[in-house]
Amino acid sequence: MAPNAERLGEIRSDWSLAEVRKLHALPFADLIWHAQSIHRRHFDPNLVQVSTLLSIKTGACPEDCAYCPQSVRYDTGLERESLMDADTVIERARAAKASGATRFCMGAAWRSPKDRDLDSVAEMVSGVRELGLETCATLGMLTPVQARRLKDAGLDYYNHNLDTSEDFYGEIITTRTYQDRLDTLAAVRDAGINVCCGGILGMGEDVSDRVALLHTLATLSPHPESVPVNQLVQVEGTPLAGTAPLDPIEFVRIIALARILMPRAHVRLSAGRSSMSDEMQALCFLAGANSIFYGEKLLTTGNPDTASDHALFGRLGIRPEPAAASG
Ligand code: SAM
Ligand code: DTB
Ligand code: SF4
């Protein structure tokens, strides 16, 4: 029996850590059944939202995130690239739309954007939006003024991940604090931009860290509109290369937990799909994942090719979600 079973499916931000822990420990079949039942109350279970990523500024990042190939501190062989010009970005967005994406997410390897950079990003955002795509950006920490600037340019979503639990966070990043991340999320929310916030699994964290991350996300009020669940992509040269891989069943459990705790959020099966079997991805969709990154590249690393994603969608009877209905 689930904790407070009669309250499952309610939209609430007052989850206790004990409740989240108990849900996580449910037998797999019970957990998936709750997740799938809740999923069907809020979404068409055969629709999946499709986002494409583009790295608009690559590498040479001053931060020390231990998973990241773009940090200047690790030798990963990545070529640095300065900020792309707006026309090139808009062309890439046009191609992503033609290939079936409905949201275009622009990522930059910055600690935080400079005001001068924001002029260019604002131009990209308005150009991409004019194509009829939803816009998303992930540029590092933002001040409230910067967030309002992006809102005015037409930004629909801002991605800023908590990455892991507050306790484990210090093992992964030392150059910005957990509170810095919460402050950016508050600035984004206050500016009226939809929040995209999730984390990474498989960094050597333990179950209590995964439960605590989900608890922090689910006690944000309101919940993030999008919750990306990434599996660590191990990149040679980063401190986390060689970390013991996560049990795929545990990954699916976290997807189900996100679905149960945040019933209206789009839960995105994010980085790491290249190393997942079709069967594992099918389990993730069954557990309530209803969004993916689509296109042959994430930011700097690989993603499944579009033909294999079309084949997977075909086998599962999944259709891409139309743009206007996303959230
Ligand atoms: N520099 C900005 C920042 O960190 O806020 C934006 C881009 S950053 C690459 C966006 C997110 O990508 C990170 O917060 C992290 O969750 C995810 N990410 C980066 N490298 C990853 C990896 N190797 N595997 C999985 N997720 C990763
Ligand atoms: C998110 O949660 N995952 C995406 C997006 N937000 C920006 C990034 C994944 C990056 C994986 C490593 C890379 O390709 O550089
Ligand atoms: Fe920089 Fe973002 Fe990579 Fe951290 S995750 S090193 S902030 S690009």
Can you give the three-state secondary structure of 132-190, one letter per residue?
CCEEEEECCCCCHHHHHHHHHHCCCEEECCCECCHHHHHHHCCCCCHHHHHHHHHHHHH
Confidence of residue 65 (pLDDT cuts 50, 70, 90): very high
Task: Tell me what pLDDT residue 327 has.
Answer: 41
pLDDT tens digits, one per residue of 102-153: 999 999 999 999 999 999 999 999 999 999 999 999 999 999 999 999 999 9
Residue of the nearest CA to atom 13 in ligand 1? 161
Q: Can you tell me which atom of ligand 1 is nearest the CA of 235? A: 23
Residue predicted with more confidence, 166 or 326:
166
Residue of the nearest CA to atom 2 in ligand 2? 228
Residue 4: pLDDT above 80? no
Residue of the nearest CA to atom 11 in ligand 1? 161
Task: Tell me what pLDDT residue 10 has.
Answer: 86
Q: Structure pTM?
A: 0.95
Q: What is the CA radius of gyration of the chain?
A: 18
Task: Quote the mean pLDDT of the chain.
Answer: 95
How far is 75 from 127, CA to CA, in rounded Å? Answer: 35
Give 264 Cα–ligand 2 centroid separation in angstroms: 22
Q: Can you tell me which atom of ligand 3 is nearest the CA of 63? A: 6
Q: Can you tell me which atom of ligand 3 is nearest the CA of 64? A: 6
Mutate to test the pocket of ligand 2, among 49, 51, 52, 53 (most ligand atoms within 8 A of CB): 53
Q: What is the mean pLDDT of residues 27-56?
A: 96
